[in-house]
Structure 1
Amino acid sequence: MIITTASVESGISAEALAPRLREHRKSGVFRTVVVPPALETAVRDAGLAFIAVDAGAARTKSQFLGLLGRTLSFPSWFGRNWDALEDCLTDASWMPEPGLVIRVEGFHTYAQTDPDGFAILLDIFKTSAEYWRGEGKAFWVLFVGAPAADLELPVLIV
C-alpha cells in the first residue's frame, strides 16, 4: 500500500508500518506523510533507532550539514562538507543495531535556496542506504510532508 494523506487520515497504523521498516533490503530514501507519532511508534516497534531532524532554519549547505552533524552526533572531525557527510553516514562505529530511521522535516528552504546542494544531499543519503543494505542494516531517510512536485522520491510503501 502506498502511504498517502488519505491513508494517514483513514488510520494507517504503526502496526502496519513497523514490519516494513524492519526490512533492511527495502530501506532507502523516501518521502512520506505519515504523522510523526505514528512514525515514531512504528520505528520503536520495529526495534530501530530514531532521529528527528528539523531543518527549517537551514538555508545554506554549511547550516544544513552543521545541523545534521549536531543532530546525528557526528564526531568532532566532521567538516561540514559532502565527503565528510558520506564518511560519517557510512561509519559503522555509530550505526545502531539493527538500523536507523532519520525523519527530516523543514527541508524546503534549503532545497529551494540550493537545489544543486540538495540533490547532492539526496545522492549521499541514497548511497549510504545502499551501503547499509549491503551490511544487513536498515537505513531509512524519510522526508516528511513532501509534496510530489517538490521532491522526486518514492513514497514509502507498506
Structure 2
Amino acid sequence: MSDNLLTKADESGVYHLVTSRRTSIESAALHAQFCVLKADITRPATTEAVLRQLGSALNFPSWYGANFDALHDCLTDPDWAPAKGHVLFINGLAGLRASDPGDFATLIDVFQSASEIRRATHTPFWVLLDAPARGIPTLAEA
C-alpha cells in the first residue's frame, strides 16, 4: 500500500485485510507517522468480552465502559491516541460474528461511524479486519 493512499482520509474506513498485506500496510502506516494499534480477540465470543479486549488493546482510558457507546466515544475522542492518522488491526471477530450477528453488525457500525467522524476532521482512520464480512470491502491493492 502506498503512503499516498493511506494518508487519504476520504479513502479510509472499515476494510477486510488480506493477511499477506498486513506487514506492508503496517510499515506504510508507521512511515506516515500514524498510530498503529492491534487487537487480537482471543476466545471470547460474547460481546462484553470482545468490547473489554478492544478497550485493553486500544489503550482506552479507565472510564471506558466496555459498551458500544463508550467504544464510539473513545474512538472519536480527539484526545485519544493523537496522531496524523490511525490504523487499527482487528483480528479474531469471527467468534462474535458467529455467536451474535446482530452485535457484530453493531460493532461494524460503530467502526464505520468513527471512521466517518474522523474523515470529517481530515484524519485518516483505518479499521482493518482479518476476516471478510458482508458489506465490508477488501482493501484494494495500491
TM-score by length of 1: 0.82
**Alpha-carbon offset, residue 34 of structure 1:** 4.3
Structure 2 Cα separation of the partners of residues 19 and 70 of structure 1: 30
Q: 1:27 aligns to what? A: 12
For 2:65, what is the secondary structure of its paired residue? coil
**Which residues of structure 2 form unaligned runs of 5+?**
none
**Alpha-carbon offset, residue 134 of structure 1:** 0.5
Q: CA RMSD in A?
A: 1.4
**Equivalent residues of 2:76, 2:118 under 8 A apart:** yes
**Equivalent residues of 2:35, 2:81 under 8 A apart:** no
For 1:20, what is the secondary structure of its paired residue? helix
Q: How many residues align?
A: 140
**Alpha-carbon offset, residue 107 of structure 1:** 1.2
Structure 2 Cα separation of the partners of residues 17 and 52 of structure 1: 20
**Which residues of structure 1 form unaligned runs of 5+?**
1-15
- State how 1:28-47 maps to structure 2 within 5 Å: 28-35=13-20, 36-47=22-33
**Bigger CA radius of gyration:** 1
**Equivalent residues of 1:56, 1:108 under 8 A apart:** no
Structure 2 Cα separation of the partners of residues 53 and 114 of structure 1: 19
Q: 2:61 aligns to what? A: 75
For 1:156, what is the secondary structure of its paired residue? coil
Provide, for residues 98-131 of structure 1, a one-character-per-residue CA deviation record: whole Å limited to 9, x for no partner: 1100011111111111110000000000000000
The sequence identity of aligned pairs, in percent, is 36
**Equivalent residues of 2:47, 2:103 under 8 A apart:** yes
Q: 1:55 aligns to what? A: 41
